[in-house]
């Protein structure tokens, strides 16, 4: 393994020493948010270095074996080497992906929003399927997540918002933003006809407080309260605890119904609203810079990024990278890592 190239081991070690020094300072916990960010970065670098050390150890061990006559047969030697080579390739692949996660906000947590498209029941059911797919993916990745809001319909969901926390959440998820298309025989069509449904996915990073300060006064917003929706029965809240906050100037709306009280829902909604206004400010700055540069290569949010075909054949295909698989069921169970990795490689 060549150090000093894409994955600079010595630089990573120097960075760890600096972070350790910060973590041992007396006033380290004065700013809790910043402290947690430092610890998160430290643990990420530590994990990457451990993987690099393991790969180097396996490579050096195999080189030593090749210099000796300890292996009885060439077949035994081949089997041993092939096993280690497979493990080494996986480690290097993981390190490669980490190197690609070098965007400004890639290490941040994220908010995932899913919205059904036109089509009533069909699209609401499809949005619910995507909702389940992403929750399964978060479980597989070991991410912590909080369901902020779900707008339930008789069948499926109209929309959902999820706060996701973990290692490089935004970096992994950012290329999931766009329109997702489903083709299948509709379970709601008595004539068993094929239907096409659409749902959109929006991904935005959780910004740190020191990135851009956003101030919101009571005069800037309109607040509506209503009863929380649920799956039915005891899970339906009978009090007006759900909160909808509308930012008057921009028209941005945030809904929160996951917390126990109206006060808690309002606080969470205001927090997410600040994050959305922060994103708008950054997009404004980036647009101004893009206009100056004359850059017209950006892709709009409404572009279709992936198709999930269940009939007349089985195929999930990403239209940006052409990566595809015929195992639709596995993808819907949250196994979308290869789609994510192929996009990270293609963007870089």
- Contacts of 270 by beta carbon, 8 Å cutoff, 6+ apart: 216, 221, 245, 254
Backbone torsions φ then ψ of 304, nearest 5 degrees: -75, 125
Q: Give 276-287 pLDDT, tens digit per residue.
A: 998 888 888 777
Q: Give 198-257 pLDDT, tens digit per residue.
A: 999 999 998 875 555 678 888 999 999 988 765 443 444 456 789 999 999 999 999 999
For 9-100, the fitting CATH number among 3.60.15, 1.20.58, 2.30.29, 1.10.10 is: 1.20.58
Instruction: Decide whether 9-100 matches 108-348 in CATH topology.
Output: no
Query: Where is mean pLDDT largest: 22-26, 29-33, 337-341?
Result: 337-341
Distance CA 180, CA 197 (A): 8
Distance CA 282, CA 105 (A): 12
Token pair 């610890």: residue: 39
**CB burial of residue 154 (10 Å; 0-12, 13-18, 19+):** exposed
Q: Which residue has the higher pLDDT, 330 or 283?
A: 330
Q: Give 287-327 pLDDT, tens digit per residue.
A: 764 565 444 333 334 468 999 999 999 999 999 999 999 99
Beta strands across the sheet bearing 253-256: 221-226, 242-247, 253-256
Say if residues 202 and 177 touch (Cβ distance below 8 Å): yes
Distance CA 67, CA 78 (A): 14
- Contacts of 87 by beta carbon, 8 Å cutoff, 6+ apart: 58
Distance CA 1, CA 194 (A): 51
Distance CA 112, CA 336 (A): 15
Domain ranges of the chain: 9-100, 108-348
The chain-wide mean pLDDT, for the chain, equals: 84
| Ranges 88-97, 102-111, 153-162: which has the least confidence | 88-97
Which pLDDT score is estimated for 162? 96
Q: pLDDT band for position 192 (50/70/90)?
A: confident
**Domain covering 108-348, topology:** Alpha-Beta Plaits (3.30.70)
Q: Which of 163, 171, 172 is nearest to 276 (CA)?
A: 163
Q: Which SS3 state, helix, strand or coil, does residue 15 take?
A: helix
Q: Which SS3 state, helix, strand or coil, does residue 8 take?
A: coil
Token pair 């990024």: residue: 305
Question: Which DSSP helix (H) or strand (E) runs through 99?
Answer: helix 74-100
Distance CA 227, CA 202 (A): 25
Q: Which residue has the higher pLDDT, 27 or 136?
A: 136
The pTM of the whole model exceeds 0.85: no
In a 13 Å sphere around the CA of 146, the CA atoms on its Cβ side amount to: 12
Q: Give 51-68 pLDDT, tens digit per residue.
A: 888 888 888 888 887 777
Distance CA 123, CA 155 (A): 10
Q: Give 69-87 pLDDT, tens digit per residue.
A: 666 667 777 777 888 888 8
Distance linking the first and last C-alpha atoms of the chain? 21
Distance CA 217, CA 237 (A): 29
Q: Which SS3 state, helix, strand or coil, does residue 256 take?
A: strand
Q: Give 333-348 pLDDT, tens digit per residue.
A: 999 999 999 999 887 6
Q: Which SS3 state, helix, strand or coil, does residue 152 take?
A: strand
Distance CA 57, CA 51 (A): 10
Q: What six digits make up the tokens of 153?
A: 């319909």
């Amino acid at each position: 393994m060549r150090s000093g190239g894409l994955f600079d081991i010595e630089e990573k070690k120097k960075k760890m020493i600096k972070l350790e020094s910060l973590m041992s300072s007396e006033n380290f916990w004065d700013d809790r948010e910043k402290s947690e960010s430092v610890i998160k970065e430290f643990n990420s670098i530590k994990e990457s270095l451990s993987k690099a050390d393991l790969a180097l150890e396996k490579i050096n061990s195999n080189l030593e074996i090749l210099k000796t006559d300890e292996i009885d047969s060439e077949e035994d030697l081949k089997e041993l080497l092939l096993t280690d080579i497979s493990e080494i390739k996986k480690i290097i692949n993981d390190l490669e992906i980490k190197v690609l996660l070098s965007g400004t906000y890639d290490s941040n947590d994220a908010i995932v929003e899913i919205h059904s498209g036109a089509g009533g029941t069909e699209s609401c059911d499809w949005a619910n399927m995507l909702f389940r797919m992403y929750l399964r993916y978060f479980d597989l990745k070991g991410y912590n997540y909080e369901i902020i809001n779900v707008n339930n319909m008789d069948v499926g969901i109209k929309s959902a918002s999820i706060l996701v926390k973990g290692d490089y959440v935004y970096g992994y998820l950012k290329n999931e933003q766009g329109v997702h298309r489903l083709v299948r025989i509709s379970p709601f069509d008595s004539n068993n006809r094929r239907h096409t449904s659409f749902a959109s996915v929006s991904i935005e990073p959780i910004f740190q407080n020191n990135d851009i300060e956003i101030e919101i006064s009571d005069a800037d917003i309109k607040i509506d309260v209503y009863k929380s929706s649920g799956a039915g029965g005891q899970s339906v809240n009978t009090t007006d605890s759900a909160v909808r906050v509308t930012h008057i100037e921009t028209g941005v709306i945030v809904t929160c119904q996951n917390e126990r009280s109206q006060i808690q829902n309002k606080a969470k909604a205001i927090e997410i609203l600040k994050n959305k206004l922060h994103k708008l400010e950054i997009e404004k700055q980036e647009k101004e810079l893009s206009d100056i540069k004359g850059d017209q290569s950006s892709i709009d949010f409404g572009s279709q990024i992936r198709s999930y075909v269940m009939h007349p054949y089985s195929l999930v295909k990403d239209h940006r990278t052409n990566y595809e698989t015929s195992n639709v069921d596995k993808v819907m169970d949250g196994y979308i890592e290869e789609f994510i990795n192929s996009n990270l490689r293609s963007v870089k």
